[in-house]
Amino acid sequence: GAVVSQHPSWVICKSGTSVKIECRSLDFQATTMFWYRQFPKQSLMLMATSNEGSKATYEQGVEKDKFLINHASLTLSTLTVTSAHPEDSSFYICSAPTQAYEETQYFGPGTRLLVL
Amino acid sequence: DQQVKQNSPSLSVQEGRISILNCDYTNSMFDYFLWYKKYPAEGPTFLISISSIKDKNEDGRFTVFLNKSAKHLSLHIVPSQPGDSAVYFCAAAYQGGSEKLVFGKGMKLTVNP
């Protein structure tokens, strides 16, 4: 079946540094990918829609200059958390829809970010 | 303002019995609904979906029912197995499951042997 990978799975960084998270679709192409964020015991909240070859679309309240998204190819989207602070600590998950299967999305395994 | 609500945070059932997970939504523009299963520190795994033009969709032990007039959907798992123990998320979309999803808060299902 379709697989979406994320790298890294875990990252710990110091406050003020930037962290890049990669999301890859492994056996299908994705012109669109979605980035979600989940706080403990909370729902997954959509942050932005990553579009291959164009700018990402951000949800209301999400700072586009802080969460930089680049969709460089049909199989790769990256999320960069710039100047990370402890409140950015969270679980970040990407997803990619595919029309080749039942209309749905496949999610990556997630990236746990801890900012000290 | 939560557009997709899973009002019960947890459910515990005995192995072999039916598990019924409920979900309510407020936005009548949603036209596609999905259920995902999630383990801690992992991404959600797709279970089953339903289009608003249907009222039932079945896949093995999983059946999703949609009541559009009540803006309510439910996931039935029969028979429940211990391996079904996980957090289940209900999600809704405006234009099909390939578009951005609005998730409920999730419900923790525990199936006891």
Mean pLDDT of B83-103: 88
Q: Measure CB to CB from residue B44 to each of A32, A41, A107 and give the nearest one.
A: A107
With a CB cutoff of 8 Å and minimum separation 6, the contacts of B48 are B34, B35, B57, B59, B62, B63, B64, B75
CA–CA gap between residue A21 and residue A3 (Å, rounded):
17
Tell me what pLDDT residue B94 has: 85
A82 near B CB under 8 A: no
Contact A33, A46 (CB under 8 A): no
Q: pLDDT grade, residue A1 (50/70/90)?
A: low
A107: nearest CA partner in chain B: B43
Mean pLDDT of B56-73: 96
Contact A4 B97 (CB under 8 A): no
Pairing of strands A111-115, A90-98: antiparallel
Mean pLDDT of B73-90: 97
Tell me what pLDDT residue A101 has: 53
Query: Is the pLDDT score of A77 beyond 70?
Result: yes
Query: Is the pLDDT score of B98 beyond 80?
Result: no
Query: Is the pLDDT score of B10 beyond 80?
Result: yes
Nearest to A66 by CA among A112, A109, A16, A100: A16
Name residue, tokens 């525990």. Answer: B110
Q: The tokens of A11 are what?
A: 């990252």
Tell me what pLDDT residue A99 has: 63
Size of the A and B interface in Cβ pairs below 8 Å: 64
Q: pLDDT grade, residue A105 (50/70/90)?
A: confident
Q: DSSP letter for A59, please.
A: P
Tell me what pLDDT residue B99 has: 77
**Mean pLDDT in chain A?**
90
A44 near B CB under 8 A: yes
Tell me what pLDDT residue A41 has: 74
Tell me what pLDDT residue A12 has: 96
| CA angle centred on A99, ends A96 and A103, rounded to 5° | 80
A110 near B CB under 8 A: yes
Task: Write out pLDDT tens, residues B26-41.
Answer: 999 998 999 999 988 7
DSSP H stretches of helix in A19-90: none
Kindly list the residues of chain B whose beta carbon comes within 8 Å of any beta carbon in chain A: 2, 4, 32, 34, 36, 41-46, 49, 89, 96-106
Q: The dihedral of CA A53, A54, A59, A64: what is its sign?
A: positive
Tell me what pLDDT residue A42 has: 79
Q: Between the CA of residue B11 and those of A12, A43, B8, B33, what are the distances in Å? A: 34, 17, 7, 21
Higher pLDDT pick, B75 / A39: B75
Phi then psi for A36, rounded to 5 degrees? -120, 160
Phi then psi for B82, rounded to 5 degrees? -55, -35
**Mean pLDDT in chain B?**
93
CA–CA gap between residue A110 and residue B18 (Å, rounded):
30
Q: pLDDT grade, residue B16 (50/70/90)?
A: very high
Long-range own/partner contacts, residues A53-61 (CB < 8 A, 24 or more apart):
none
